[in-house]
Amino acid sequence: MPVRAADDLISVAVATPAEGQALAEHLRNSHDWLEVVPGIDSVVVRFDAATLDGEEAARRLAEALVEGISPPESVAPLLEIPVVYGGEHGPDLDALCERFGLSRDEFIALHTDREYTVDMVGFTPGFAFIGGLDERLRAPRRDSPRQRVAAGSVAVADGRTGIYAIASPGGWNVIGRTTLSLFDPDADTPFLLAAGQRVRFTAVEDDG
């Protein structure tokens, strides 16, 4: 059921990130909403409170839910993300390997052996939350967050992989850094990663 989250915001709970992404796409196509943001377990919509009252907005959203959500017509292309693992680019990798009883090669093999999907983008602009991490690599966030994590850093925490599109503070365990450019302020779509994007990590050598 839709729940008012603010004067111009309504939130709807969803069972999975994929369900949220499908619902968000359906709502965007209706053009009733100023903004639609899918999350891991909810979708938040922003409406024009100057022209639409909250009750009417909730009614329209409830109708959209009753209509049912069709799966996406096409599958997002797979993006390969090259990562330099360890060293100065992945300062937490060796500590995680010791924690899990894995060699560095074993850790990297587990992280690169599967396809992932971006569940949501948030926390900081462009930060990608990516589900599906192997349970053998599950670790809590760092006790002491860093004041600055470099743009492109690839990190793990709480069963997910996260990618920092821009430099920011952060408490995830940094295992490497991608050589891809994740943010282009002059592009029509400034951030490379979006919810629903399929990705696979590949290990590369540091050419710097």
Query: Is residue 17 pLDDT above 70, yes or no?
Result: yes
Same domain, 94 and 175: yes
Pair 55, 87 in one domain: no
- Integer Cα distance of 163 and 172 in angstroms: 10
- Could you tell me what percent of the chain has a pLDDT over 70? 95
Nearest-angstrom CA–CA distance, 55 and 200: 43
Out of 67-76, 98-107, 184-193, the most confident range is 98-107
Q: Kindly give the pairing relationship between strand 78-85 and strand 35-38.
A: unpaired
d(CA 117, CA 152): 17
- Are 92 and 45 part of one and the same domain? no
The token pair at 60 is: 């329209």
The CATH code of the domain that includes 163 is 2.40.100.10
pTM equals: 0.79
Residue type, 25: E
pLDDT of residue 123: 83
Give the pLDDT confidence of 154-179 residue by residue, as tens digits. Answer: 999 999 999 999 999 999 999 999 99
The answer to whether residue 153 is domain-embedded is yes
Which stretches of 28-95 are assigned E, i.e. beta strand? 35-38, 42-46, 78-85
User: H/E element holding 6?
Assistant: strand 3-6
Please tell me what DSSP assigns to residue 16: S
What are 103-143's pLDDT values in tens digits? 999 999 999 999 999 998 988 889 999 999 999 999 999 99
Q: What is the pLDDT of residue 11?
A: 85
208 in a structural domain: no
Alpha helix ranges (H) inside the chain: 17-30, 54-67, 93-100, 104-112
**Ranges 52-66, 80-94, 115-129: which has the least confidence:** 52-66
Give the mean pLDDT of the chain.
89
Range of the domain at 184: 78-203
Q: What is the per-residue pLDDT for 23?
A: 82
190 and 123 together in one domain: yes
Q: How many domains does the chain have?
A: 2
> Coil, helix or strand for 166?
coil
Residues 92 and 57 in one domain: no
CA angle 167, 169, 175 (to 5 degrees): 75
Residues 97, 191 within the same domain? yes
87 and 49 belong to one structural domain: no
Last residue of a domain, one of 67, 90, 121: 67
Tell me, what's the pLDDT at 134? 96
152 domain residue, yes or no: yes
